[in-house]
Structure 1
Amino acid sequence: MTAFPPALFQNLMESLTQWDSLTPLFLAFCGILAVAWYAWICFTKPSSKPPPGPRGLPLFGNLLSIDPELHSYFASLSQTYGPIFSLRLGSKTAVVVSSPSIARQVLKDHDVTFANRDVPVAGRLATYGGKDIVWTPYGPEWRMLRKVCVLKMLSNTTLDSVYELRRREIRKTVGYLYSRVGSPVDIGEQMFLTILNVITNMMWGGTLEGDERAAVGSEFREVVAHMTALLGKPNLSDFFSGLAWFDLQGVEKQMRLLARRFDQIFEKMIELRLRKNNESGSGESKDFLQFLLKLKDEEDSKTPLTMTHIKALLMDMVVGGSDTSSNTIEFAMAHIINEPKVMRRVQEELDSVVGRQNMVEESHIHKLPYLFAVMKESLRLHPALPLLVPHCPSESTTVGGYTIPKGSRVFINVWAIHRDPTIWVNPLKFDPTRFLDSKWDFSGNDFEYFPFGSGRRICAGIAMAERTFLYSVATLMHSFDWKIPESQELDMSEKFGIVLKKKVPLVAIPTTRLSNTALYE
């Protein structure tokens, strides 16, 4: 969940229509590359067997024929070319895997070889040169960051310690929805704002107070929206490395400006936290920033945690945690509202465990097996990262009988695997009961179901994702009944992006379920 892979090809055709301003230098460069392409085709004999795939054009390869809905487009190509195929995207080779057996070879059998990333320009600039847990190359530095995230920052013990910060924001959302009873509410937008507030409160909830916290949260919402849009924009510099210097689409320039705004916020928070620590003589406030600063001072390993690492990890939390969780919640709420039997069973379970005279607490969520099954089924149909974060082999490797070249970009189409009719009964049906008493979990050990990835690069924020989803959806369903406005139909179609989104936002009307109105205050 904390990972945020750029959807580099979304709206590619739209971007390609804007090339009227290309300079003569670029056109000459294209001519040289085209000649080199033909020379390579005519005078070289590959000694390895590449995966099959559609023929491409000189220079551009398959770029001009790609559908922006990559997850479904790749799934359709696999019907023609098989469970592993390749595409040429400019100067890059892309390999797509869409079967459990080959995914196992990539993510388990050859895990170390495929544990690196091909870092896009926008991703590198957004994360202080790729110093975060998503883009850092596999090695001592990455292992240190992974340890900080999984064993310390995002461990169950640490998450328990900042529960009150999450609880406060969820209760604020309940109060807001109570004020909107009987009126349509954009659930996805509201949950994005809620989760962004939850995340920023966990990061530095003890640093800011009152209006100051609200002002910073408002600025974050604006910057995150611009940054996620830019990360989803196809960038010529990623397809043709020789063009990176020119920054023809201005992606680098725009991302530098956004990253600078983030950095200024982080610098301000760090300065305030250090000042408060000096004034109080202690650092007992419970938030991630305080925790990371303390860890930095205590660290004495050969690979120390630096201030740049801290800011990059905070960036991961903000950008990687907000969209993924809010979109998963929106899909789940849409399915629940669309299936009266599911809604009734979710609410009956909540009434049994929580009761109508209480509000949901996080201590309840692990007593809600049916709601947990709803989460698993939502992630089966709509994995937050449908192609995971692309992997990049450190050396040429044979997978599925084909050679995957060093430096290629490898996509695991978990979206297609989760909808494979040879694996799942009625795969397009939303049926949470398939996960009751089932073998499937989020460990990444079963390659028929692995929404958070697998291997060394499995998502570091699974524990936080579980809590965020279950606590949020449980509260929404326990406190309110929901219905779609009259004369409107619920559209479940998807839109490929940085993370998988609903193409049509979920708008629903809440009505109160609890007789004691004081619970909504």
Structure 2
Amino acid sequence: MDYLLLLLGLSFVLACIHFLTKSIALSTTKFVPLNLPPGPRPFPVIGNILQLGNKPHQALANLSKTYGPIMSLKLGSITTIVITSPQVAKEALQKHDHALSSRTIPDGARSLDHHKHSIAWLPVSASWRNLRKVCATQMFTAQKLDETQVVRRIKVQELVDYVHESCRSGSAVDIGQAAFTTVMNSISNTFFSKDLAHYQSDLSQNFKKLVCGVMEGVGTPNIADYFPVLRSVDPQGIRRRLNTVAEKIFNIFDGIIYERIQAREKMRSKESNDLLDSLLNLVEENSSDQLSLTCIKHLLLDIFVSGTDTTSSTVEWSMAELLHKQEKLIKAHTELRQVLGKDWLVQEFNIAKLPYLQAITKETLRLHPPAPFLIPHKAETEVEISSYMVPKAAQILVNVWAMGRDSSVWQNPASFMPERFIESEIDVKGRDFELIPFGAGRRICPGLPLAHRMVHLTLASLLYTFDWKLVHDLKPEDIDMTEKFGLTLPKSVPLLAIPIKLKKLYHHPHQHYTTKNYIYHHQQHYTIVINNWIHCPKTQNTNRNRSSSPNTNSKHHHQIQTQNTNNNNLKVHQIQTPSSIITVIPSPITTEKEEEEEERERERDQIVIVVASGHGPVFVVAPVITAVFVAASGCRRLGAGRFDVDDEV
């Protein structure tokens, strides 16, 4: 937080608020009336601003250890109630949901009258309910999200392709920026059927910079927020800068909307090809002013600003925690390989079958919520919470960062332990107040269902397709895990990691003793050794050792037959042998041309070897990450890369 600028403006504040001298005199007496929550004594005029420090969420968490889970402060002229426990948060956001449903609006949100049209800042009213209804019925229902999941899958595949290019060049990937581009393009294609950002083009970074500019502007400490009398002056120029940024974003939206309206008129069609068509249909059907083109633009601004930065930040923090705790990364890899098997792409329906991945995101949201505080609530009437009186017009801050690190709620709260959620029913959907990073009650984030899908799909794809190493041979324990305070909580130092194609991870043979069930590989293999006989799927050659010439008379060679399947891109080779030791040897890639050819092969073909044993078929599926044995029955590990199946099961 830039408190230096704040302090420089205080002299100007003192001159402008001379009429507060009576309040200043009163503030020198005992601060805490019996009916207000306890809190630290404020300084004259500025109140408790200086006690917030550079990281207010941490400072307020420390103050709560002295003053309790509900406390009162003076931030300038604003009475502020801070809540830091699940029990008090539940009482405030559930029991007194209606009384605390309004917002304390920061001056930056007033740019271009955004607060008059924004679903985030509007008070509970007919306009707000109409916007919530649009979100609930047109955007974020399970049915609507299922209909648009192909868009997200394509955009995530583009992310994977981009990371593949980094693999070839050996360059590092900025995880946060890459995820930001993916999320933004997923949203823009859902609404507009077009990309608004690109991974490598400087030209297309413009929209990303504008969205980030809004986040930074609203999150910058503003004297006018502490002393509303100064709003008309805009002493730091924050609203003026935000006016410029928001106007540029609205110009982009105007161009897209106008182009779509022209196309619809030309085609004389109201068919809904994306969400913009659906919203335009609603505008035409709506006889009142409750939903207009202006409302649509402000709704789009809310969705792009709140949806991109928070989601990409969660992906970045998840990756940082996993690289920081390598044993958790291994667990995540193992689950993905076991569940997904031979599938190359992660899909949204896989998420429900990945409990450890879901636990990772919950644990990340516990330690690193998208925003340190919920969007500020405002008391519409005087209300009693935990036997204390909250005055009318007071600002309510719910410190979700502190609640996620409360030692009375969480065991070892500072440790990244996804396992804590494996047997737990706690979720992030607003019912469990121990974990409410997206809010609760009627003001819960409407985009939560989309964020849930996007975070899991993006994170799973990055983990399943690649292994990762840190730049400059940085050790996992040396990763900078500090956060930068603002409207959101991004990493202070962006996470840079070098992706490694999983097929290159293992340059030694992998042996598996097979009797039945399945072994899956996801690494392209050129040489497969079965009982010391070598089979080359590309050439159909089988020989005793790698140096010998092909032996076309070998009985093993004759028993390798290509089978017909329903999938024209699937090659199946059947080998008749009662029991087999299978060794899979990845061929070294020696030239760029060979690597490109191998990449085309990976995308086009998949090789499956069916070993029919006395106990049933065994499949070795190429491509492979590592020797992952997916058994429908019990198995025991015999050694590195070697498994045995219990024949009795």
Q: Is the shorter-chain TM-score for this pair beyond 0.5, marking a shared fold?
A: yes
- 2:410 equivalent to 1:424: yes
Q: Equivalent of 1:194, from 182, 203, 212?
A: 182
In 2, Cα distance between equivalents of 1:126 and 1:171: 37
Q: Equivalent of 1:433, from 405, 410, 419?
A: 419
Q: Which residue matches 1:476? A: 462
In 1, Cα distance between equivalents of 2:68 and 2:238: 35
When residues 126 and 105 of structure 1 are mapped into structure 2, their CA distance, relative to the original with a 3 A threshold, is farther
Using structure 2 for the length normalisation, give the TM-score.
0.73
For each residue in 1:445-495, what CA deviation from the matched residue of structure 2 results, as whole angstroms up to 9, or x when unmatched? 222222221111011111101111011011101110011124422122222
CA RMSD of aligned residues (A): 2.5
Alignment of structure 1 residues 479-490 onto 2, 5 Å: 479-488=465-474, 489-490=478-479
Q: Equivalent of 2:495, from 502, 506, 519?
A: 506
Q: Which residue matches 1:257? A: 244
Alignment of structure 1 residues 344-423 onto 2, 5 Å: 344-423=330-409
Alignment of structure 1 residues 238-277 onto 2, 5 Å: 238-277=225-264
- 1:352 shift after superposition: 2.2
Checking the alignment, whether the CA contact within 8 Å between 1:90 and 1:240 is kept in structure 2 is: yes
Q: Which residue matches 1:3? A: none
For each residue in 1:401-459, what CA deviation from the matched residue of structure 2 results, as whole angstroms up to 9, or x when unmatched? 11111111111112111211111111112111211131211231222222221111011
Checking the alignment, whether the CA contact within 8 Å between 1:385 and 1:499 is kept in structure 2 is: yes
- 1:361 shift after superposition: 2.0
Alignment of structure 1 residues 99-118 onto 2, 5 Å: 99-118=85-104
The sequence identity of aligned pairs, in percent, is 37
In 1, Cα distance between equivalents of 2:402 and 2:416: 15
- 2:266 equivalent to 1:279: yes
- 1:398 shift after superposition: 1.2
Checking the alignment, whether the CA contact within 8 Å between 1:128 and 1:308 is kept in structure 2 is: no
- 1:249 shift after superposition: 0.9
For each residue in 1:235-277, what CA deviation from the matched residue of structure 2 results, as whole angstroms up to 9, or x when unmatched? 1111111111111111121111111111111111110111111
In 1, Cα distance between equivalents of 2:196 and 2:214: 26
- 1:126 shift after superposition: 6.0
Q: Equivalent of 1:448, from 419, 434, 450?
A: 434
When residues 473 and 209 of structure 1 are mapped into structure 2, their CA distance, relative to the original with a 3 A threshold, is closer
When residues 442 and 210 of structure 1 are mapped into structure 2, their CA distance, relative to the original with a 3 A threshold, is closer
Alignment of structure 1 residues 39-438 onto 2, 5 Å: 39-41=25-27, 49-125=35-111, 128-181=114-167, 182-205=170-193, 217-299=204-286, 304-438=290-424
Using structure 1 for the length normalisation, give the TM-score.
0.90
Structure with more helix by fraction: 1
SS at match of 2:102: coil
Mean Cα displacement is larger for which, 125-134 or 112-121? Answer: 125-134
- 1:360 shift after superposition: 1.5
Q: Which amino acid aligns with 2:415?
A: K
- 1:71 shift after superposition: 1.3
In 2, Cα distance between equivalents of 1:127 and 1:336: 42
- 2:502 equivalent to 1:515: no
For each residue in 1:350-395, what CA deviation from the matched residue of structure 2 results, as whole angstroms up to 9, or x when unmatched? 2223234522122322221211111111111111122111110101
Checking the alignment, whether the CA contact within 8 Å between 1:153 and 1:291 is kept in structure 2 is: no
SS at match of 1:423: coil
Q: Equivalent of 1:491, from 443, 466, 480?
A: 480
In 1, Cα distance between equivalents of 2:322 and 2:355: 15
- 1:210 shift after superposition: 11
- 1:328 shift after superposition: 0.5
Checking the alignment, whether the CA contact within 8 Å between 1:175 and 1:520 is kept in structure 2 is: no
- 1:42 shift after superposition: 8.1
Query: Larger RCO: Structure 1 or Structure 2 (Cα < 8 Å, ≥ 6 residues apart)?
Result: 1
Mean Cα displacement is larger for which, 278-287 or 168-177? Answer: 278-287
Q: Which amino acid aligns with 2:98?
A: V
SS at match of 2:103: coil
Mean Cα displacement is larger for which, 510-519 or 492-501? Answer: 510-519
Q: Equivalent of 1:467, from 453, 465, 469?
A: 453
SS at match of 1:113: coil
Aligned residues: 503
When residues 520 and 252 of structure 1 are mapped into structure 2, their CA distance, relative to the original with a 3 A threshold, is farther
- 1:47 shift after superposition: 7.6
Q: Which residue matches 1:16? A: 6
- 1:329 shift after superposition: 0.5
In 2, Cα distance between equivalents of 1:210 and 1:423: 41
When residues 89 and 27 of structure 1 are mapped into structure 2, their CA distance, relative to the original with a 3 A threshold, is closer
In 1, Cα distance between equivalents of 2:233 and 2:368: 37
Q: Which amino acid aligns with 2:355?
A: P
In 2, Cα distance between equivalents of 1:299 and 1:234: 39
Structure with max Cα Rg: 2
SS at match of 1:177: helix
Checking the alignment, whether the CA contact within 8 Å between 2:191 and 2:275 is kept in structure 1 is: yes
- 1:43 shift after superposition: 10
When residues 431 and 97 of structure 1 are mapped into structure 2, their CA distance, relative to the original with a 3 A threshold, is same
- 1:297 shift after superposition: 2.1
